[in-house]
Every structure is written in C-alpha cells, then in structure tokens.
C-alpha cells in the first residue's frame, strides 16, 4: 500500500514547522532548561487557536474531527524544535483516553479549547495503568487535571498532590503523584485502542526528536571546517549522517503506518502496529541522538550544544507507556496468536 500525506496535511505540516521554528528562534527551550520564565500561556493559547489541540476531538465535542495522523504531524514538528509544551500528552494521549475509555465528554471540549490541560498518570515505571498508590504524571505542568483510572473509565482529578519530579529530560516535566486509587487492571478493545494511540503519540515525539537532531547535525557538518574542508565532505561523517537518515525515515514509515492503522484497522492490529512503531522509534531515536553527538565532536559533549537535550528527551520518551521489552512482547504474542490461528 502506498501512503502519502494529503494536500491539507502537507499544509498542516508546513504551518506546524513554521510555527515551531519561530518558537525555537526565541530560545524557549533553553529558557525552560535554565528555569527562566517561558510564556507558556501564550504558547498554549496559540496552539489552541490554531486548532491543533482538537485535531483528534470529534466535532460534536468542540474539535475538528481530524485524524491521529494530523496530530502526529504537529507533534513531530514541535518535538523537532524542542518547543516546551505538553502537546502529545494532551492532544494525543489525553484526548484518546477521554474519547475511548469513558469520561465526561465536556472534558474533551475543554481540552480542544485549551481552557484546561490534562496529564495522564502512569505507573512508577512509566507503564499504564498505575498498579500502586503512587505514579508519575507524564508531560505535566502546574495546574493540570490528573487523569487516573476509575470504575467508569478515566476521571480528571484536581485534588491529588503532584510534586515536580526530576528526570533525565530537562524540557518535558514530570510530577510524582501519591494516594492514587488502586483499580484492577483493565483490558479489552477500548484499552487496546487507548494504548495504541499513546504509543503512536510517543513515537511521534521520538521521531521529531531524532529528526531535529539529524537536521542540526547535517547543518553543522556543512559548516564546520577541519583541515581546510567542511567535515561533511569526509566519507566517515557522510556514512554516519546516512545511517541517521535511514533510522529516521524508517521511523517515519513505522509511525505514520501505525497512526493510519489506529483509525482504519481492527484494535488488535492497530495495537501491534503501534508497538512496532514505538519499539523502532525508541531504539532509533537514541542511536540517532548519540550519533549526532559523535558528529559534533567535542562540542557535542558540552552544555552549550543542544544535542544532549535531544538525547535526554529520547531516553525519557522511550520508557513511556511500556519499555521496549513490553512492546516486543506484544508484537510476539500477536505473531504467535496468528500462527496458532493458521493451524
């Protein structure tokens, strides 16, 4: 099957790239790392006004009724430029949870309008659902409503204490949550659909991170001169950049294939495609970011170079909603089940 973005999606990608690049030029990522004030409210308001928060929210709930592919396009652009906003956690993951697991549909309207932000609470190992009375709010910001499982699906809690929790990622913020209600583990098509969307969202973030590292590295290799020549003219550097490109484009194919499957394939197939995308993107993002640091040479290991910000982001995101081993287990179980069905 041949897959390509529609003309409307190509325009969305151009708009998201232009907007994200403008925010990058303002240095908001570095400001967030340094603990300086970032106009978060203005950024969030602009994203809401552009309609990006409601891309996966049905029209009857105040959204645009778009697709998961649309949201991934925006998520990729924002991650590529390290824009410090919790877009994936809200527009992809929270929206999927509120839409599929059962919740007050008025919350979806609040999310699409940008009047309320949400943070899904994961387990201590960043898996879902949390299995104890403590957990971690992923892509959390001050004032977020915490989405936790309850008997009817998901509930938005504002009465739980959330304390900032330091992680390897210096841009994406996380919070420690305690006194969670412990619920029995759930399963079924709705849960499969939610986890598939969550893995796709995280994969979009990882793709943006590796593509940002790749683009900056290629630009550096074109301009950095050594022995009287741009280092990009050396075959060894070209090979490294080529390997980064192969990893990134393979990740792009896996991601958008999984995003399409999330809305056009049966839940079990969508879950397998999402786990495949997440497993590949999780490994590829770290490889690409590490290679980017290698091409940058000594400057790549310094605080002033942004490569460590990309690498840090890739390490945290790869653990969200299940480790690589959990993704591989899901893929293997699906293959074994299919093989048994053929007998």
- What is the pLDDT at residue 136? 96
- What is the pLDDT at residue 83? 96
Give the rounded percent of residues in the chain with a pLDDT score beyond 70: 96
Q: Which domain holds residue 261?
A: 189-342
Mean pLDDT of 24-51: 91
What are the pLDDT digits (tens) for 75-98? 999 999 999 999 999 999 999 999
CATH code (residue 215): 1.20.140.10
In a domain, 313, yes or no: yes
Instruction: Report the number of distinct structural domains present in the chain.
Output: 2
- What is the pLDDT at residue 341? 62
The owner of tokens 């995308």 is: 277
For residues 240 and 318, membership in a common domain is answered with yes
What are the pLDDT digits (tens) for 183-192? 766 678 888 8
The owner of tokens 């839940």 is: 267
For residues 152 and 281, membership in a common domain is answered with no
Q: For residue 153, is pLDDT > 80?
A: no
In a domain, 14, yes or no: yes
For residues 245 and 125, membership in a common domain is answered with no
188: left (phi over 0), alpha (psi -120 to 50) or beta: left
For residues 172 and 194, membership in a common domain is answered with no
CATH code (residue 67): 1.10.540.10
For residues 149 and 38, membership in a common domain is answered with yes
- What is the pLDDT at residue 104? 74
What are the pLDDT digits (tens) for 238-276? 999 999 999 999 999 999 999 999 988 888 889 999 999
In a domain, 183, yes or no: no
- What is the pLDDT at residue 1? 54
Q: What is the mean pLDDT of the chain?
A: 91
Position 342 confidence tier, pLDDT thresholds 50, 70, 90:
low
Predicted TM-score (pTM) of this structure: 0.94
Position 329 confidence tier, pLDDT thresholds 50, 70, 90:
confident
For residues 242 and 335, membership in a common domain is answered with yes
Position 340 confidence tier, pLDDT thresholds 50, 70, 90:
low
């Amino acid at each position: 099957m041949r897959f390509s973005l529609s003309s409307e999606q190509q325009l969305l990608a151009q708009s998201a790239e232009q907007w994200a690049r403008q925010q990058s030029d303002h240095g908001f990522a570095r400001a967030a790392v340094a603990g300086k004030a970032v106009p978060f409210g203005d950024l969030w308001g602009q994203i809401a006004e552009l309609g990006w928060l409601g891309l996966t929210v049905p029209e009857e709930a105040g959204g645009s009724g778009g697709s998961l592919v649309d949201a991934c396009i925006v998520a990729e652009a924002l991650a590529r430029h390290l824009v410090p906003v919790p877009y994936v956690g809200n527009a992809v993951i929270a929206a999927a949870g509120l839409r599929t697991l059962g919740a007050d549909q008025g919350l979806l309207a609040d999310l699409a309008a940008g009047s309320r932000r949400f943070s899904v609470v994961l387990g201590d190992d960043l898996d879902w659902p949390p299995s104890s009375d403590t957990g971690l709010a992923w892509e959390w910001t001050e004032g977020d409503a915490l989405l936790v499982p309850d008997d009817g699906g998901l509930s938005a809690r504002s009465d739980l204490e959330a304390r900032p929790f330091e992680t390897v990622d210096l841009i994406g913020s996380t919070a420690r949550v305690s006194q969670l209600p412990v619920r029995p583990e759930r399963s079924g098509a709705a849960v499969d659909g939610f986890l598939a969307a969550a893995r796709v969202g995280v994969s979009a973030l990882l793709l943006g991170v590796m593509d940002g590292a790749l683009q900056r590295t290629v630009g550096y290799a074109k301009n950095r001169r050594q022995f009287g020549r741009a280092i990009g003219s050396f075959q060894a550097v070209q090979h490294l950049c080529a390997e980064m490109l192969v990893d990134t484009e393979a990740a792009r194919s896996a991601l958008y294939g999984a995003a399409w499957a999330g809305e056009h394939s049966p839940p079990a197939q969508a879950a397998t495609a999402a786990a495949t995308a997440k497993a590949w993107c999780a490994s590829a993002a770290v490889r690409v970011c590490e290679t980017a640091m290698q091409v940058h040479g000594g400057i790549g290991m310094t605080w002033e170079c942004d490569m460590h910000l990309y690498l840090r982001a890739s390490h945290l995101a790869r653990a969200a909603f299940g480790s690589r081993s959990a993704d591989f287990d899901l893929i293997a179980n699906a293959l074994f089940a299919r093989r048994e069905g053929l007998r």
